[in-house]
Structure 1
Amino acid sequence: MLLADDTSPVFSWNPVADFQDMWSYAYMVNAFRAGLIVAVVCAVVGWFMVLRRQAFAGHSLSVAAFPGASLAVLVGFSTTLGYFGFCIAAALVIAALRREGQEGGAEESAATGTVQAFALACGYLFISLYKGLLEGPTALLFGDFLGITTGQVEILAVVGAAVLAVLAVIGRPLLFASLDPQVAAGRGVPVRLLGTVFLVLLAAATAEASQITGTLLVFALLVIPPATAQQLTARPGPSLLLSALLGLGACWAGLIAAYYQPYPLGFFVTGFAFAGLVLAHLFRYLRDSLERRRMPLTLTGGAA
């Protein structure tokens, strides 16, 4: 990446000086603020998405962010409005077309795949009609942090706070409905309504993440940190906290790497998140291996 004076930043191995230099640019400060908001929101919402096995629905909503942002670039209005507008509209369509009893299995829904296909077709149309520089659409697909403004950060903060507030209110019944929807429905829990509300929250989180990672790499923050956390612990509270920490670490580490290297931000965020998932699987494998080795010793001692 080139700075305003056409010189590339150089890592000096002096963390204090490096951060002072990096945060002397307003766009980097905004990028770190936006990364904090997006990482936490995506980690919490994504944790429920992974638990509910709705990764395909989340992927379809991320695809819907592409035509929304593309249309915004084409007609010249705010890309933030395009992200949120198309994602939430797609979530409502998926919820409306989904048949009764599909909660927890929306990734296999034909309605979800239909919305995804139509969103991709619209995005391709808008890109074909776009006559400007290719850098704009490329940033929409793979992420960019140079254009994040203070106004966008404020919008992300307001939307993120609203998403977390709603999720805090419906968290307990949503967890119940996610683990056993049939029993929850029998206990009077509005399973379908909760599923619709969650899809809207998932759409908002997806729209936020798309502005950092790009629409094609949303899962770097929405899926990988929650999946990593659930590999390490099954307890909801610690798992949610760990998911947020992992997402934040991957996002901020990616921003630092992208500042010093001329490669896409989305690659670095995804790479760090994926490395964490691999390490989590390795840790779990070693832990299970040790437990299996201890088990015969325990049985032998008990028999003696």
Structure 2
Amino acid sequence: MWSFPFMVNAFRAGAVVAVVSAVMGYFVVLRRQTFAAHTLSTVAFPGASGAVLFGFSAVYGYFAVCVAAAVVIAALGWRRGGGGADESALTGTVQAFLLAAGFLFITLYKGLLGGPQTILFGTFLGITTSQVNVLLGVGAVVLAVLVLIGRPLLFASIDPQAAAGRGVPVRALSVAFLVLLGAATAEVSQITGTLLVFALMVVPAATAQTMTGRPSTGIALSVVLALAATWLGLTTAYYRPYPLGFFVTTYAFAGYLLARSGRALHSRLGRTGMPQLRKGATA
């Protein structure tokens, strides 16, 4: 497997994507903005297919449309906790139209590798060194900005009212985070596909927050889980003729189930032991 340059590039790209998505995903779950991540992943599909149709690389379509959509969402006032029913209906309508537009672009361009499957469910074929460099550059910028705003962003994510009262620019942080989320979503889409961005953007972070409430430990654990899911998915997809996104999602979801099961078992054992401790204390 390691004798093929495209597999080496796939593991490099997967590592970059896993780290960026895990760190961003921790804040996505903490801020309850999974719906925003879903919206951005949806618009990535027509962005990539449209770029290919008009003679550009799909990479540029991913980034251009995802970041533009993030700016639009921020301009419309999308906030933590979601908007009203009218906003949700409008967003859902736009998502449906853009998804249909993406399928139209793919139909018009008949030479697209693998048809819609490549963009929707991801692939490790054809990842070049230049693509890895682009992902690395964008990922470095996203993480650098996140480090700069990380502490106030964490405060604003946990208690936005208290943060605003202390003078934290909550609104500006929300806009900056959405733009970073757009760039991160564009990165993740190139590995998992646009429909399975949650595999790396949400599931490892949700698993980590199930296991620990400490932000630093949770972020580190989220990165480890995302790397494991990505590399295991790439290895399995090399030997099996099925979409990469399916394997990445399966491994990430299995980790989440194990974490939830372990937490439930721990809670049950704790409740079972309490009566015995009380009885011993009474005796």
Q: Does 1:70 align with 2:77?
A: no
RMSD across aligned positions (CA): 1.7
Residue 121 of structure 1: how far off its partner (Å): 3.8
Q: Which of 252, 261, 266 lines up with 2:240 in the alignment?
A: 261
* 1:79-94 superposed matches below 5 A: 79-94=58-73
Residue 119 of structure 1: how far off its partner (Å): 2.7
* 1:31-42 superposed matches below 5 A: 31-42=10-21
Q: What residue number does 2:82 align with?
A: 105
Task: Give ranges in structure 2 of 5+ residues lacking alignment.
Answer: none
CA distance in 1, matches of 2:203, 2:252: 6
Residue 301 of structure 1: how far off its partner (Å): 3.4
Q: What residue number does 1:243 align with?
A: 222
CA contact (8 A) 2:188 2:197 kept: yes
Q: Which of 114, 121, 126 lines up with 1:135 in the alignment?
A: 114
Residue 114 of structure 1: how far off its partner (Å): 4.9
3-state DSSP of counterpart to 1:135:
coil
* 1:9-28 superposed matches below 5 A: 22-28=1-7
Specify whether residues 211 and 134 from structure 1 end up closer, same or farther in structure 2 by C-alpha distance, changes over 3 A only. Answer: closer
CA contact (8 A) 1:90 1:115 kept: no
3-state DSSP of counterpart to 2:16:
helix
CA distance in 1, matches of 2:180, 2:280: 52
CA contact (8 A) 2:103 2:116 kept: no
Q: What residue number does 1:171 align with?
A: 150
Residue range with higher mean Cα deviation, 108-117 or 212-221: 108-117
Q: What residue number does 1:297 align with?
A: 276
Specify whether residues 107 and 45 from structure 1 end up closer, same or farther in structure 2 by C-alpha distance, changes over 3 A only. Answer: farther
Q: What residue number does 1:14 align with?
A: none
Question: Structure 1 length normalisation: TM-score?
Answer: 0.88
Q: Which of 137, 141, 151 lines up with 2:130 in the alignment?
A: 151
Amino acid at match of 1:141: L
Residue 134 of structure 1: how far off its partner (Å): 6.3
Q: Does 1:182 align with 2:161?
A: yes
3-state DSSP of counterpart to 2:150:
helix
CA contact (8 A) 1:60 1:115 kept: no
Describe the superposition over 1:192-232 as per-residue Cα deviations: whole angstroms up to 9, x where unpaired.
Answer: 11111111111111100110011111111111100111111
Identical aligned pairs, as a percentage?
65
Q: Does 1:199 align with 2:157?
A: no
3-state DSSP of counterpart to 2:168:
coil
Q: Which of 207, 225, 249 lines up with 1:228 in the alignment?
A: 207
Question: Structure 2 length normalisation: TM-score?
Answer: 0.94
Specify whether residues 194 and 114 from structure 1 end up closer, same or farther in structure 2 by C-alpha distance, changes over 3 A only. Answer: farther
When the two structures are aligned, how many residues end up with a matched partner?
281
Q: What residue number does 1:281 align with?
A: 260
Amino acid at match of 2:239: Y
CA contact (8 A) 1:177 1:191 kept: yes
Residue 68 of structure 1: how far off its partner (Å): 0.8
CA distance in 2, matches of 1:220, 1:45: 13
Residue range with higher mean Cα deviation, 289-298 or 149-158: 289-298
Task: Give ranges in structure 1 of 5+ residues lacking alignment.
Answer: 1-21
CA contact (8 A) 1:56 1:106 kept: no
CA contact (8 A) 2:67 2:182 kept: yes
